[in-house]
Structure 1
Amino acid sequence: MKSKKVWHKGVQFSAEVAPFVSRMSLVDDHRESLLRLQGVWDSLALLGQMSGAAADMGGTRSAFQALSGTLLDSLARRLLDNCVSRLRGKAQVAIDILVRNLFERTADVGFLAADGPLREHVTLCADPQATPEQQAASRAALEARFRAYVAKYSVYDDIVVLSPQGRVLARLDRSVADAAPCSDPLIAAALRPGTPFVESHGALDVLGGRTSLVYASAVGSASGAGGVLCLSFRLADEMRGVFRQLLRQQETGDRTVLVLRDKEGRVLQSSDRWQIPLGAELPPVDRNQRLVFAGRDYLAVATEATGYEGYCGPGWSALALLPVEHAFGTAAHEDDELQQDFAALAAGLDTRELFDAELRGIPLEAARIQRDLQRSLWNGKLRSRLQPDGNGEFAVTLLNEVERTGQQLRQVFEQAIGNLQNSALAAVFDEVLFHARLAIDIMDRNLYERANDVRWWALDASLQQALQKASQGDAAAAQREAELVLRRINGLYTVYSLLLVFDRTGRVVAVSDPAQAPHHLGRQLDEAWVAKALALRDRERYVVSPHEASGLYAGRPSYVYATSLPSPGDANAVVGGLAIVFDGQAQFAAMLGDALPQRSGATGLFLTRSGRIVSSSDEERWPVGATGPLSAELLGKLVAGESRSIELAIDGTVHAAGLSLSAGYREYRRGAAPAAEDVIAVVLQALGPRLPASAQDDDASGFLAPQAQVKGGKHIDIASFSVAGRALGLPADAVLEALMAPRLVALPNAPGALVGMIEHRDRMLPVIDIGLLLGEPACGGDSLVLVCRTPSDQAMALRVQALGQVFSVAPEQIHPSPTRTGAAGPTRLVRGSGAGMLSLLDMESLWAGTAAAAPLLDQEDEAGVLLLPQ
Structure 2
Amino acid sequence: MTKVWRKGLPFSTEVAPLLAAMPLLDEYREPLMRLQGAWDSLALLGQMSGAATDMADTRSAFEALTGRLLDSLARRQFANAVQQLQGRAQVAIDILVRNLFERTADVGFLAADGPLKDLLAESARPDRALELDAFRESVRQRLADYVAKYSVYDQVALLAADGRCLVALHPDRCAPVVQDERLLRALDPGQAFVEVHGPSALLGGASGLIYAAAVKADNGTMGVLCLSFKLEDEMLGLFRALCAGVPRSVLVLKDEQGRVLLTSDPWQIPLGAPLATSGREQGFRMDFAGRDYLACTATASGYEGYFGPGWSAQMLQPLQHAFAEAPPQRQEARARGVDTRELFDEELRSIPLEARRIQRELSRSLWNGKLKSRSHALHAPHASHGAAPPDTAFPAAGALTSASTSTSQGRTPSNADFAVTLLNEVERTGDQLRQVFERAITQLEESALGAVFDTVGFQSELAISIVNRNLYERANDCRWWAQDGRLQQALAQGHADAAAEVLSSIHALYTVYSLLLVFDAQGRVVAVSDPAQAHHVGRSLQGEWVRAALALRDSSQYAVSSHEPCGLYGEDGRSPCLVYAAAVPHPDGPVAPVGGIAIVFDGQPQFRAMLRAALPSQPGSAALLVTRSGEIVASSDERWAVGAMLPVPLPALSTLAPDQVVTGEVEWQGRVQAFGLAMSGGYREYRRRTPPHPQDLAALVLLPLGPRLDETAQSQGQASFVPLAPGGARTLDIASVLVDHQWLGLPAAQVLAALERQRITAWPQAPAAVRGMLGFEGRMLPVLDLGQLLFHRPTGDECSLLVCRTSAGQRLVLAVQQLGQVFQAGTDQLQPSPTRPGWAAQAQVRLLKGKGAEMLTLLDCDDLWRLVSGAAPQEPAGDLPLLAAD
Q: Give the TM-score normalised by the residue count of structure 1.
A: 0.92
- Following TM superposition, by how much is the alpha carbon of 1:205 offset from its aligned partner in structure 2, in angstroms? 1.7
Match of 1:800 in 2: 816
Match of 1:119 in 2: 117
- Following TM superposition, by how much is the alpha carbon of 1:176 offset from its aligned partner in structure 2, in angstroms? 1.9
> For the Cα contact (< 8 Å) 1:724–1:776, is it kept in 2?
no
Q: Which amino acid aligns with 1:67?
A: L
1:293-332 equivalences under 5 Å are 293-331=288-326
Structure 1 445/848 Cα, relative in aligned 2: closer, same or farther at 3 Å?
closer
Q: Secondary structure of the residue that 1:551 maps to in structure 2?
A: coil
Match of 1:840 in 2: 858
Match of 2:34 in 1: 36
- Following TM superposition, by how much is the alpha carbon of 1:699 offset from its aligned partner in structure 2, in angstroms? 4.7
- Following TM superposition, by how much is the alpha carbon of 1:849 offset from its aligned partner in structure 2, in angstroms? 4.5
- Following TM superposition, by how much is the alpha carbon of 1:5 offset from its aligned partner in structure 2, in angstroms? 1.0
**Quick check: 1:528 aligned with 2:523?**
no
Q: Distance in 1 between matches of 2:276 and 2:804?
A: 70
Question: C-alpha deviations, 1:249-268, integer Å up to 9, x for none?
Answer: 2xx35432111111111111
Q: Distance in 2 between matches of 1:324 and 1:838?
A: 52
Match of 2:402 in 1: none
Q: Distance in 1 between matches of 2:826 and 2:610?
A: 74
Match of 2:162 in 1: 165
Question: C-alpha deviations, 1:338-381, integer Å up to 9, x for none?
Answer: 5x425xx25x2233432222121111110111111112112211
> For the Cα contact (< 8 Å) 1:660–1:681, is it kept in 2?
yes
Structure 1 718/110 Cα, relative in aligned 2: closer, same or farther at 3 Å?
same
Question: C-alpha deviations, 1:535-588, integer Å up to 9, x for none?
Answer: 211111111111110112222211111111122221344222111111112211
Per mean C-alpha deviation after superposition, the further-off stretch among 568-577 and 158-167 is 568-577
Q: Which amino acid aligns with 1:127?
A: R
- Following TM superposition, by how much is the alpha carbon of 1:796 offset from its aligned partner in structure 2, in angstroms? 2.5
Match of 1:397 in 2: 421
Q: Distance in 1 between matches of 2:791 and 2:215?
A: 90
| Unmatched runs of 5 consecutive residues or more in structure 1 | 471-477, 865-870
Structure 1 174/700 Cα, relative in aligned 2: closer, same or farther at 3 Å?
closer
1:17-416 equivalences under 5 Å are 17-131=15-129, 133-176=130-173, 178-179=175-176, 181-247=177-243, 249=244, 252=245, 254-285=247-278, 287=280, 289-331=284-326, 334-335=327-328, 338=331, 340-342=332-334, 345-346=335-336, 348-385=337-374, 386=376, 389-416=413-440
**Quick check: 1:578 aligned with 2:600?**
no
1:397-796 equivalences under 5 Å are 397-470=421-494, 478-517=495-534, 519-553=535-569, 554-619=573-638, 621-631=639-649, 633-693=651-711, 695-699=713-717, 702-711=720-729, 714-796=730-812
> For the Cα contact (< 8 Å) 1:824–1:841, is it kept in 2?
no
Q: Distance in 1 between matches of 2:170 and 2:319?
A: 44
Q: Secondary structure of the residue that 1:570 maps to in structure 2?
A: coil
Q: Give the TM-score normalised by the residue count of structure 2.
A: 0.91
Q: Secondary structure of the residue that 1:523 maps to in structure 2?
A: coil
Q: Distance in 2 between matches of 1:112 and 1:166?
A: 19
Q: Secondary structure of the residue that 1:19 maps to in structure 2?
A: helix
Q: Which amino acid aligns with 2:747?
A: P
> For the Cα contact (< 8 Å) 1:285–1:301, is it kept in 2?
no
Q: Which amino acid aligns with 2:671?
A: T
Match of 2:843 in 1: 825
RMSD of aligned alpha carbons: 2.3
Q: Distance in 1 between matches of 2:541 and 2:851?
A: 83
- Following TM superposition, by how much is the alpha carbon of 1:465 offset from its aligned partner in structure 2, in angstroms? 1.5
- Following TM superposition, by how much is the alpha carbon of 1:236 offset from its aligned partner in structure 2, in angstroms? 0.2
Q: Secondary structure of the residue that 2:342 maps to in structure 1?
A: coil
Q: Distance in 2 between matches of 1:294 and 1:789?
A: 74
Structure 1 715/562 Cα, relative in aligned 2: closer, same or farther at 3 Å?
closer
- Following TM superposition, by how much is the alpha carbon of 1:769 offset from its aligned partner in structure 2, in angstroms? 2.2
> For the Cα contact (< 8 Å) 1:700–1:803, is it kept in 2?
no
% same residue: 55
> For the Cα contact (< 8 Å) 2:631–2:646, is it kept in 1?
yes
- Following TM superposition, by how much is the alpha carbon of 1:337 offset from its aligned partner in structure 2, in angstroms? 6.2
- Following TM superposition, by how much is the alpha carbon of 1:750 offset from its aligned partner in structure 2, in angstroms? 1.2
- Following TM superposition, by how much is the alpha carbon of 1:177 offset from its aligned partner in structure 2, in angstroms? 5.4
Q: Which amino acid aligns with 1:371?
A: R
Q: Distance in 1 between matches of 2:734 and 2:138?
A: 103
Q: Distance in 2 between matches of 1:524 and 1:838?
A: 81
Q: Distance in 2 between matches of 1:632 and 1:381?
A: 56
Q: Which amino acid aligns with 1:281?
A: P
Q: Distance in 1 between matches of 2:195 and 2:719?
A: 73
Q: Distance in 2 between matches of 1:97 and 1:27?
A: 36
- Following TM superposition, by how much is the alpha carbon of 1:102 offset from its aligned partner in structure 2, in angstroms? 0.6
> For the Cα contact (< 8 Å) 1:300–1:322, is it kept in 2?
yes
| Unmatched runs of 5 consecutive residues or more in structure 2 | 381-412, 881-886
Structure 1 747/35 Cα, relative in aligned 2: closer, same or farther at 3 Å?
same
- Following TM superposition, by how much is the alpha carbon of 1:758 offset from its aligned partner in structure 2, in angstroms? 1.5
- Following TM superposition, by how much is the alpha carbon of 1:850 offset from its aligned partner in structure 2, in angstroms? 4.4
Q: Which amino acid aligns with 2:649?
A: S
Q: Secondary structure of the residue that 1:793 maps to in structure 2?
A: coil
Q: Distance in 2 between matches of 1:203 and 1:788?
A: 89
Q: Distance in 2 between matches of 1:117 and 1:429?
A: 53
Q: Secondary structure of the residue that 1:353 maps to in structure 2?
A: helix
Q: Distance in 2 between matches of 1:823 and 1:668?
A: 80
Question: C-alpha deviations, 1:259-303, integer Å up to 9, x for none?
Answer: 111111111111111111111111233556122111111111111
Q: Secondary structure of the residue that 1:666 maps to in structure 2?
A: coil
Q: Which amino acid aligns with 2:255?
A: D
- Following TM superposition, by how much is the alpha carbon of 1:728 offset from its aligned partner in structure 2, in angstroms? 2.3
- Following TM superposition, by how much is the alpha carbon of 1:835 offset from its aligned partner in structure 2, in angstroms? 7.0
Q: Distance in 2 between matches of 1:256 and 1:318?
A: 13
> For the Cα contact (< 8 Å) 1:258–1:321, is it kept in 2?
yes
Match of 1:867 in 2: none
Structure 1 26/281 Cα, relative in aligned 2: closer, same or farther at 3 Å?
same
> For the Cα contact (< 8 Å) 2:22–2:323, is it kept in 1?
yes
Per mean C-alpha deviation after superposition, the further-off stretch among 691-700 and 534-543 is 691-700
Match of 1:8 in 2: 6
Q: Distance in 1 between matches of 2:833 and 2:710?
A: 32
Q: Distance in 2 between matches of 1:850 and 1:579?
A: 82
Alignment: residue pair count: 835
- Following TM superposition, by how much is the alpha carbon of 1:589 offset from its aligned partner in structure 2, in angstroms? 1.2
> For the Cα contact (< 8 Å) 2:329–2:450, is it kept in 1?
no
Per mean C-alpha deviation after superposition, the further-off stretch among 630-639 and 276-285 is 630-639
Question: C-alpha deviations, 1:523-545, integer Å up to 9, x for none?
Answer: 22232222221221111111111
- Following TM superposition, by how much is the alpha carbon of 1:710 offset from its aligned partner in structure 2, in angstroms? 4.3
Q: Which amino acid aligns with 2:175?
A: D
- Following TM superposition, by how much is the alpha carbon of 1:751 offset from its aligned partner in structure 2, in angstroms? 2.1
Question: C-alpha deviations, 1:283-327, integer Å up to 9, x for none?
Answer: 233556122111111111111111111111111111111111111
> For the Cα contact (< 8 Å) 2:199–2:208, is it kept in 1?
yes
Structure 1 182/827 Cα, relative in aligned 2: closer, same or farther at 3 Å?
closer
